[in-house]
Amino acid sequence: MKKAILLATLLLGFFVNGWATNGGPEVDAGATAWMITSTALVLLMVPGLAMFYGGLVRSKNVLGTMMHSFAAMGVMSVLWVLVGYSMCFGESVLGGWFGWNNDYVFLNGIDETVMEGGVPELVFSMFQGKFAIITPALLAGAFAERVKFKGYLVFIALWGIIVYNPLCHWVWAEDGFLFNMGADGAIDFAGGTVVHISAGVSGLVAAIYLGARRGYPLRQLRPNNLVMTMMGVGLLWVGWFGFNAGSSVSSGIATAQALTATQVAGATGALAWAIIELFHHGKATALGFASGILAGLVAVTPAAGVVQPLGAMALAVAASLVCYGALMLKDKLGYDDSLDAFGIHGVGGIVGAVFLSFFIRKSWMENAAALAGGEWTVWNQFGIQVVAVGIAIAYSIVLTIALIWIVEKLFKLKSTDEEEMMGLDRAYHGERGYGMMNPN
Amino acid sequence: MKLITAIIREYQLDQVRESLIQAGISRITVSRVSGNGNQVNTEVYRGKEFVPNLTPKMRIEIAVNDEFAEVTIDAIIKAAKSHNGHEGEVGDGKIFVTPLEQVIRIRTEERGSSAI
């Protein structure tokens, strides 16, 4: 009897193994568990962002602004299943403009696919889909308090399809041209170029087009709830572990490296910003600390996979300095990037993507040199990074201008004066965020 | 001396303040209030339209010397009327003018017109 059970167990084991190897690589439970966790963490960043942005606007716009983030969860998630994953990770079509694969439509063809690292492709797709959600949500910070809800929905849908998906394909798909540029590709570990630069630059374009909010910059447009903003930035930091450490699509050394870089960059950025403020204004503000966390995290996003902790810290300090300068310059130039989508995400992303070249770990450089068939220097990579960033900026600017023009013509994007005065909450949602002093 | 109390729409406060400042009136007190007027103001929660029995408004209080009373009233009307002061709508609010017996500045103990 014992023998029979043993035999049966052996046979069963053989059968299961054989079946798994025939169907592709086995599922790696550890890597998959971490990727599912990362997916949830990146989704957590979206309500975090809603709180961060929601606290920064005036109370009559708090719901409308939070809805910009939440609406992106709805619109972009659905679009991702429909065409997003296919356009990003399908094979290049139309000269590599974007990707396409009929099997990916509605994610039909990846139901049972396991990727090389042992992660089910559905998990990878859901993880990547979160980046497509948060990017337009970040962008909306540039033109808070003055866009129609309907126009915004159409805008982010089109922006996702025409700007985000192609960029994502170029940078992260195996046959994307930026992925293959130079010896070992343009480095954009977790989305400095794809996410932060594209969102920041497009946001700036939209902010300039829509014009300043009524009363800006003469009147103070004060944040309604900095407590909510602080909690929001806290959630963003936590979520960023999924954002960066999940981008290794594994659970191992690369994950540990990215996780460490993320932590030290957030902390260093915050400290740097606080110190700058102490010297400049004599007071270290809460919003400044929050901005520093963001600047540090944004800068390390493209670099998390290739830099060591010291490099991450250096990038964070640089980002805080440059972003702080960018915000002061904004006041001088007078454009209304309301919640500093460009000032922090755009500028921080550029700083990170370009200057990471000077902090790349040795093993990566040696690998690149081997691939280049001899030598590969920091300056070679610097050149690649500058070109990739330049392409992302130029593409985002041109396509965003075109999109805004179309949406404004067909659906109207800009709020009327009266709607802006009334606030987004009442004008588009018929609700109020707070019951302040309202006896009923 | 007069005490001018104006009840206006919440979101027109900024505009009214600007108009008052243009007319040379900058000393004002503002509070959030709720009340019942002619206006029916609907809000939507979970698909149900709801008419709050009290509508949120802003109350502005301004103490002025007699010769400034009309200037102040005009400045408020111009900015608080809907459609940029051209055409009013139900809910634009009201202005109350009451005689003001005494004004005292606490710091200097001045009284009367000069304390306004």
Task: Assign A4 a pLDDT band (cuts: 50, 70, 90).
Answer: low
Task: Assign B27 a pLDDT band (cuts: 50, 70, 90).
Answer: very high
For residues A45 and A235, the answer to whether their CB atoms sit within 8 Å is yes
Residues of chain B contacting residue A214, judged by C-beta atoms under 8 Å apart: 14
- Closest CA relative to residue A257, chosen from A376, A371, A115, A363: A363
Task: Assign A17 a pLDDT band (cuts: 50, 70, 90).
Answer: very low
- Residue A18 confidence (pLDDT) above 60: no
Q: Between A and B, how many residue pairs show a Cβ–Cβ distance under 8 A?
A: 41
Q: Rounded mean pLDDT of chain A?
A: 91
Mutation target among A63, A149, A424, A438 for the B interface, most CBs of B within 10 A: A438
- Residue A15 confidence (pLDDT) above 60: no
Over residues A81-104, the mean pLDDT reads: 94
Task: Assign B47 a pLDDT band (cuts: 50, 70, 90).
Answer: confident
Residues of chain A contacting residue B14, judged by C-beta atoms under 8 Å apart: 214-215, 219, 421
Q: Tell me the whole-structure pTM to 2 decimals.
A: 0.88
Distance from CA of A423 to the nearest CA of B (A): 8
Distance from CA of A135 to the nearest CA of B (A): 28
- Residue A8 confidence (pLDDT) above 70: no
Q: Does B89 touch chain A (CB under 8 A)?
A: no
Q: Does B87 touch chain A (CB under 8 A)?
A: no
Task: Assign A22 a pLDDT band (cuts: 50, 70, 90).
Answer: very low
- Residue A23 confidence (pLDDT) above 80: no
Token digits of residue A271? 């400290």
Which residue in B11, B45, B53 is closest to A423 by CB distance? B11
SS (H, E, C) A335-368: CCCCCCHHHHHHHHHHHHHHHHHHHECHHHHHHH
DSSP-derived letter for residue A95 is G
* Window from A33-37, A66-70, A322-326, B36-40 with minimum mean pLDDT: B36-40
Task: Assign B84 a pLDDT band (cuts: 50, 70, 90).
Answer: confident
Mutation target among A420, A432, A434, A436 for the B interface, most CBs of B within 10 A: A432
What pLDDT is attached to residue A84?
A: 96
Q: Does B12 touch chain A (CB under 8 A)?
A: yes
- Residue A21 confidence (pLDDT) above 50: no
What pLDDT is attached to residue B88?
A: 84
Q: Does B40 touch chain A (CB under 8 A)?
A: no
Cα(A245)–Cα(A262) distance, integer angstroms: 8
Distance from CA of A331 to the nearest CA of B (A): 21
Residues of chain B contacting residue A432, judged by C-beta atoms under 8 Å apart: 43, 56
Task: Assign A437 a pLDDT band (cuts: 50, 70, 90).
Answer: low
**Rounded (5°) CA angle B29-B30-B33:** 140
What pLDDT is attached to residue A14?
A: 45
Which residue in A214, A418, A431 is closest to B43 by CB distance? A431
Task: Assign A122 a pLDDT band (cuts: 50, 70, 90).
Answer: very high
Task: Assign A10 a pLDDT band (cuts: 50, 70, 90).
Answer: very low
- Give the chain A residue nearest B44 (alpha carbons): A430
Q: What is the pLDDT of residues A128-186, one digit of tens each?
A: 999 999 999 999 999 999 999 999 999 999 999 999 999 999 999 999 999 999 889 99
What pLDDT is attached to residue A215?
A: 81
Q: What is the pLDDT of residues B13-23, one digit of tens each?
A: 988 999 999 99
B2-115 — its CATH code?
Answer: 3.30.70.120
Distances (CA, A) of B82 to A141, A145, A195, B92: 29, 20, 42, 7
Distances (CA, A) of A269 to A96, A315, A319, A344: 37, 8, 7, 12
What pLDDT is attached to residue A438?
A: 52
- Residue A1 confidence (pLDDT) above 70: no
Task: Assign A334 a pLDDT band (cuts: 50, 70, 90).
Answer: confident
ipTM of the complex: 0.76
Mutation target among A421, A424, A431 for the B interface, most CBs of B within 10 A: A421
Q: What is the pLDDT of residues A247-296, one digit of tens each?
A: 999 999 999 999 999 999 999 999 999 999 999 999 999 999 999 999 99
Over residues A50-76, the mean pLDDT reads: 96
- Residue B57 confidence (pLDDT) above 80: yes
Q: Does B39 touch chain A (CB under 8 A)?
A: no
What pLDDT is attached to residue A3?
A: 53
What pLDDT is attached to residue A297?
A: 97
Q: With CB atoms and an 8 Å threshold, state whether A421 touches B12.
A: yes
What pLDDT is attached to residue A5?
A: 52
Residues of chain B with pLDDT > 90, as a percent, come to 59
- Give the chain B residue nearest A424 (alpha carbons): B11
What pLDDT is attached to residue A2?
A: 52
Architecture of the CATH domain A47-426: Orthogonal Bundle (1.10)
DSSP string, B2-66: EEEEEEE-GGGHHHHHHHHHHTT----EEEEEEE--S----EEETTEEE--SSEEEEEEEEEE-G
- Closest CA relative to residue A133, chosen from A176, A86, A193, A195: A195
Over residues A372-394, the mean pLDDT reads: 93
Distance from CA of A436 to the nearest CA of B (A): 8
Q: Does B53 touch chain A (CB under 8 A)?
A: yes
What pLDDT is attached to residue B21?
A: 93
Task: Assign A440 a pLDDT band (cuts: 50, 70, 90).
Answer: very low
Task: Assign A331 a pLDDT band (cuts: 50, 70, 90).
Answer: confident
DSSP-derived letter for residue A83 is I
Q: Does B38 touch chain A (CB under 8 A)?
A: no
Residues of chain B contacting residue A440, judged by C-beta atoms under 8 Å apart: 34, 52-54
